[in-house]
Amino acid sequence: MANSPDHFRTSSCVSADPAQCAPPLQPDTQRRVICVARAPDEALIEEIRSAGWEVVLAKTAAGAEAATKKCGVAAGLIDFDGFTPRDFPTLKACLSQTTIGWVAITAEGKSASKAVRELIRNFCFDYVTLPLPAEWISHALGHARGMAALDYVDTATGALVTDDNTMVGTCEAMQQLFSTIRKVANTNASVFISGQSGTGKELTALAIHRCSPRRKAPFVAINCGAIPHHLLQSELFGYERGAFTGAHERRIGRIESANGGTLFLDEIGDTPLETQAGLLRFLQEGKIQRLGGNESIPVDIRIISATHVDLEAAILAGRFRADLFHRLCVLRVDEPPLSARGKDIEVLAYYVLQKYKADSTHKIHGFTPSAIDAMHKYHWPGNVRELINRVRRGLVMAEGRLLTARDLDLDLESQTAGRTATLDCIREQAERSVIETALLRHDYRLGETATALGISRGTLYRRMVAYGMHVAEDTDSDNTGAELDGDVPI
């Protein structure tokens, strides 16, 4: 599980109703482990404690059930040895709790029954075989806890619980964005969101609405660039019966349907000048007239707009009204591009993996180190939207249990785009990719992998250490599992 320390947490800024958010995480749950074992390994528990974890021990299924209730977000460590099929329904209920990320452990040489294997595959984030260095166990627990925290609240960062429309991020740029959202949500002033295509501008608009006093009223979104210019005005303002050919009945426009709530005007930069004039009049007067009608209808809404177009340049070119821009851009929010979000790229990739893992015909547990490296080096012109598409493609195309750079279609040419590729760089990337492919093919058995590659076991091990591919030296046994970069046979 390379590159997966305990700081793998996410911040979600959207909630259907902030009043219904789950309880905030308490400080004592930030590094809590629920350890379930009939005969716990006291030395291992002490090592976990020395790594900064608070350990809650449960030696029975009933004890596990009590320990997992209302524990907040936590990691879970479970050893099925000694538990009987009678215990499995209770243990399954504990494993099913989404706020706990479970890691299964077993001692070297011990086999697992079919029922236990099914529980591990269906409910555990990882599986490891002891003996294993304590720091690797800590990393596994940290990563598992981080995955469980994806949809939870952290009041320190202002994140809210969400089920779908999710904003994920821990980097400084995203924390600044979350802070800005909280500030602008409490006002009625118009908000303008700028950012590249695919950065999540509509999610930001929705987060502002759902954190605002208008959250119980409608949130209405319209993409001004996706509607033909001659239809946009009727979509926004509505029309009366007989206003034009085909107007057989009155229709309420998007502005009027958002009364009391928020109207999100996406791609406002593509709005034609005649529609801009109507929007300006509405913003000045707070009233609209349906097409073909004479009645002035008061409407109370908040306007949030967004575009990837440089509106200042559009104003200079005469394509956008300066007076409308100043009405729309009372408060400005800048959406950071994915390339500026650092470690969030990995956080988002794992989030997408968890959300769409059902698309794969077999269980995928993560990314290879070279895939992580390729994602960090890629410039992401399509931003988050492109990342989602690449991970979903990888889930369909992958043959192993870890997604590779090739599965994501981030090959050497993509990784070196925009920079000079040295021979050493190309050689290193190619060697790493070949080693990872061989390891996946031979289930991380070092002896078999080294033979297939035509090198000694020691040379293979040194190459893996150099590339950060940590595999225990005893992985040639029948019960492998010490490799933290993915699942292994059990």
Output b/e per residue, 287-321; b: 16+ Cβ within 10 A. ebbbbebeeebebebbbbbbbbbebeebbeeebbb
Per-residue pLDDT band for 240 (boundaries 50, 70, 90) equals confident
Picking from 292-306, 317-331, 358-372, 428-442, which range would have the lowest pLDDT averaged per residue? 428-442
- Supply the pLDDT for residue 109: 65
| 70 CB-contact burial (10 Å; exposed 0-12 / middle 13-18 / buried 19+) | exposed
Is residue 417 predicted with pLDDT exceeding 70?
Answer: no
Which CATH number goes with the domain that contains 235?
3.40.50.300
User: What band does 401 get if pLDDT is binned at 50, 70 and 90?
Assistant: confident
Percent of the chain with pLDDT over 70: 80
Q: What is the model's pLDDT at position 330?
A: 94
- 62 with 206, same domain: the answer is no
Q: Could you say which of 161, 190, 215 is where a domain stops?
A: 161
Confidence of residue 386 (pLDDT cuts 50, 70, 90): very high
Q: Is the pLDDT of residue 31 over 80?
A: no
Percentage of residues of the chain with pLDDT beyond 90? 21
Domain identity same for 103 and 155 = yes
Same domain, 191 and 298: yes
**Do 189 and 81 belong to one domain?**
no
Residue 405 lies in a domain: no
In a domain, 333, yes or no: yes
Number of folded domains in the chain?
Answer: 2
Residue 150 has pLDDT above 90, yes or no: no
Return the higher-pLDDT residue of 68 and 425: 68
Lowest mean pLDDT among 176-185, 191-200, 417-426: 417-426
Q: What is residue 49's predicted lDDT score, i.e. its pLDDT?
A: 85
pLDDT digits (tens, 9 = 90+) for 80-122: 888 888 888 888 888 877 778 888 888 776 767 788 888 887 7
Average pLDDT, stretch 217-239?
A: 89
Q: Is residue 443 part of a domain?
A: no
- Mean pLDDT, rounded, for 233-253: 86
Q: 12 and 145 share a domain?
A: yes
- Assign 3-class secondary structure to the chain: CCCCCCCCCCCCECCCCHHHCCCCCCHHHCCEEEEECCCCCHHHHHHHHHCCCEEEEECCHHHHHHHHCCCCCEEEEECCCCCCHHHHHHHHHHHCCCCEEEEEEEECCCCCCHHHHHHHHHHCCEEEEECCCHHHHHHHHHHHHHHHCCCCCECCCCEECCCCCCCCCCCHHHHHHHHHHHHHHCCCCCEEEECCCCCCHHHHHHHHHHCCCCCCCCEEEEECCCCCHHHHHHHHHCECCCCCCCCCCCECCHHHHCCCCEEEEECHHHCCHHHHHHHHHHHHHCEECCECCCCCEECCCEEEEEECCCHHHHHHCCCCCHHHHHHHCCEEEECCCHHHCCCHHHHHHHHHHHHHHHHCCCCCCEECHHHHHHHHHCCCCCHHHHHHHHHHHHHHHCCCCEECCCCCCCCHHHHCCCCCCCHHHHHHHHHHHHHHHHHHHCCCCHHHHHHHHCCCHHHHHHHHHHCCCCCCCCCCCCCCCCCCCCCCCC
Each residue's pLDDT tens digit, 317-346 = 999 999 999 999 999 999 999 988 888 888
Residues 57 and 190 in one domain: no
- Higher-pLDDT residue of 248 and 297 is 297
Give the end of a domain, one of 338, 363, 389: 338
Q: Is the pTM of this model over 0.85?
A: no
- Average pLDDT rounded to a whole number, residues 200-224: 91
Write down which residue in 111, 131, 161 finishes a domain.
Answer: 161
- Is the pLDDT score of 474 beyond 70? no
The answer, yes or no, to whether residue 56 has pLDDT greater than 80, is yes
CATH number at residue 12: 3.40.50.2300
pLDDT higher for 78 or 135?
Answer: 78
pLDDT of residue 258: 93
Q: Range of 314's domain?
A: 172-338
Query: Looking at the predicted structure, is the pLDDT value of residue 475 above 70?
Result: no
390 within some domain: no
What is the pLDDT at residue 154? 37
- Whether residues 187 and 116 share a domain: the answer is no
- Gap between the Cα atoms of 13 and 211, Å rounded: 8
Q: Are residues 20 and 141 in the same domain?
A: yes
Q: Which residue has the higher pLDDT, 256 or 424?
A: 256
Tell me if 420 is assigned to some domain: no
Give the residue-averaged pLDDT of 402-424.
67
Say if residue 415's pLDDT is above 50. no
Average predicted confidence (pLDDT) for the chain: 77
On whether both 43 and 183 belong to a single domain, the answer is no
> Pick the residue with more confidence: 351 or 469?
351
Together in a domain, 147 and 207: no
